[in-house]
Amino acid sequence: MIPAIRGTHDILPGEIERWQRAEQVVRDVCERYGYREIRTPVIEREELFAKGTGETTDIVQKEMYAFEDKGGERVTLRPEATPSMVRAFVEHALEQRLPTVKIFSLGPMFRYERPQKGRYRQFHQLDVEVFGVADATLDAEVVEMAAALVDALGIDDAEVVLNSVGCAECRPGFSRALLAALGDRAADLCGDCRRRAAVNPLRIFDCKVPSCQPIVDALPHATDYLCDPCRSHFEATTALLKALDVDFRVSHRLVRGLDYYTRTTFEIRGGRLGAQNALLGGGRYDGLVRQLGGPDRAGIGFAAGMERLVLAMPEGPGPRAPDAFIVALGDAARQSAHRLARDLRRAGLTVLIDYGDRSMKAQLRRANRTSARHVLILGEDELARASVTVKHMASGGETLVGRQDVVRMLTADPASAEQPAPKRGLSVLADDEPEGGPGDVEQPAPKRRLRVPDTAV
């Protein structure tokens, strides 16, 4: 056997249903907030992340799948989405095409890290970005949307954490204040923290080493060192968030690991996730577009870890039960059975059938395992009478139905009659008959509701 690459994983039937549910919710929420989907390549120039994500970050320094391609180009599998989104925004002048540039993307990211719970080498992110809007009302809306997303996924033990890390004007002052406050206690910090103090003092707040905690607790807070514009931006953000009834906690210890963040940063943390408890994280990055060679435009967004969202989501329904399972007995019946399957499928039903010459018992056992609502038995008797035995699995009841009436009988069940609108493009052959087939005693489970696209703008 050739096993999967470390840190990658297959999403199998049984688990994929959760993913599909998560992706559906994600798309719905994004659409409701006015975001348009874009898809960017998983491979980019290495330079994009060196400049975008930041040369000093661990992501760029040691986690990228970077290599030289056959043309001698330095390329890399993307470790995160934001720089690609910025690139696409600039490269296609999206601000000329969209009224407001609110875009989202869903796809795999790659980081060479040691796998653990909620962390993989190939993982998937939802990425949400807005370009060209500097106003604090957007900061609040983005955070509120992130909270709404988590809520819509049914994750109820999540916590919104907020902070402001200032801007290019005021952050250097804060860094100096940090170092000053540290003073000679810097020597008592752990090795990592001493390294952070030299490279990126803000990250000292991230430390979990117990011996560092008293020192870190005594450090000044970023929000006390904001310049006037940053302060009022933060105040406006928190005020609107309160007005929007978003529960959040301001934590001066929330510092994000990427270099480009300015002003608002936030994170949503969830339970049952182990150490990697950040469901999503993001913030404002007003200098990034320009830094990547674009116009001077504000930016804000967040990325959510799909694996983590799926992990934190409550259990949902399993796969949809098939409408029918066809049992064919004998070679003569088998061809007819496949024609019946085709006709029912054309009418929009989910229909399964067994293959090969298996006993009736074996076929029924398989039918039972698929939770099919009906079993359609087609043997020599039925063939001779041009009919089909329709067995309702839940009750065990059977009726002999004329071959030409089977489609109508199964499509006319009361549950699907409740939803007359859907099945776009499928009903070519189906409902040319009047409603209400032959008296149908069966009471099948209701069909899953089809989603009606929200066309409101």
Partner RNA sequence: GUGAGUGUAGCUCAAUUGGUAGAGCGCCGGACUGUGGCUCCGGAGGUCGCGGGUUCAAUCCCCGUCACUCACCCCA
Q: How far is the CB of 313 from RNA (least distance, A)?
A: 14
Tell whether residue 329 is a contact of RNA (CB under 7 A): yes
Tell whether residue 267 is a contact of RNA (CB under 7 A): yes
Tell whether residue 361 is a contact of RNA (CB under 7 A): yes
Tell whether residue 116 is a contact of RNA (CB under 7 A): yes
Q: How many residues bind RNA (CB under 7 A)?
A: 68
Q: Which is nearer to RNA, 120 or 174 (CB)?
A: 120
What phi, psi does 432 have (nearest 5°)? -95, 0
Out of 91, 151, 157, 380, the residue judged to bind RNA by CB under 7 A: 380
Residue pair 145/137 in contact by the 8 Å Cβ criterion: no
Binding mask 29-68 for RNA (x = CB under 7 A): ----------------------------xxx---x-----
The neighbour count for residue 267, using CB atoms within 10 Å, is: 22
Residue pair 123/65 in contact by the 8 Å Cβ criterion: no
Alpha-carbon distances of 156 from 266, 272, 385, rounded to whole Å: 18, 11, 58
> In sequence order, what DSSP letters do the residues of 89-128 get, joined into one string?
HHHTTHHHHSSSEEEEEEEEEE-----BTTB-SEEEEEEE
- CA-closest candidate to residue 372, choices 418, 336, 341: 341
Out of 21, 45, 119, 345, the residue judged to bind RNA by CB under 7 A: 119
> In sequence order, what DSSP letters do the residues of 245-294 get, joined into one string?
T---EE-TT---SSTT-EEEEEEEE-SSSTT--EEEEEEE-TTHHHHTTS
Alpha-carbon distances of 75 from 65, 288, 292, rounded to whole Å: 9, 20, 16
Q: How far is the CB of 394 from RNA (least distance, A)?
A: 6
Q: How far is the CB of 111 from RNA (least distance, A)?
A: 6
Out of 221, 338, 366, 423, the residue judged to bind RNA by CB under 7 A: 366
Cα 419 to Cα 431: distance, rounded to the nearest angstrom: 13
Cα 177 to Cα 187: distance, rounded to the nearest angstrom: 17
Kindly calculate the radius of gyration of the chain based on its CA atoms and give it in whole angstroms: 29
The answer for residues whose C-beta is within 8 angstroms of residue 432's C-beta and 6 or more apart is: none
Q: How far is the CB of 50 from RNA (least distance, A)?
A: 14
Type and span of the H or E element at 43: strand 43-45
Q: Which is nearer to RNA, 44 or 267 (CB)?
A: 267
* Residue 281, token pair as written in the block: 């994280």
**Owner of token pair 């069909």:** 447
Out of 46, 47, 192, 431, the residue judged to bind RNA by CB under 7 A: 192
Out of 175, 276, 399, 419, the residue judged to bind RNA by CB under 7 A: 276
Out of 46, 206, 440, 442, the residue judged to bind RNA by CB under 7 A: 206
Tell whether residue 278 is a contact of RNA (CB under 7 A): yes
The strand pair at 351-353 and 324-328 is best described as parallel
Tell whether residue 114 is a contact of RNA (CB under 7 A): yes
Tell whether residue 284 is a contact of RNA (CB under 7 A): no
Q: Which is nearer to RNA, 66 or 227 (CB)?
A: 66
Out of 129, 286, 307, 413, the residue judged to bind RNA by CB under 7 A: 307
Type and span of the H or E element at 392: strand 387-392
Q: How far is the CB of 378 from RNA (least distance, A)?
A: 7
Out of 303, 312, 337, 341, the residue judged to bind RNA by CB under 7 A: 303
Tell me which stretch binds RNA (CB under 7 A): 70-78, 107-115, 148-156, 418-426: 107-115
Tell me which stretch binds RNA (CB under 7 A): 98-106, 241-249, 381-389, 447-455: 381-389
Rule CB under 7 A: which residues touch RNA? 3-4, 6-7, 9, 57-59, 63, 80, 111, 113-120, 123, 125, 192, 196, 203, 206-209, 256-258, 267, 274-276, 278-282, 303-305, 307-308, 329, 358-362, 364-369, 377, 379-382, 389, 391, 393-394, 396, 398
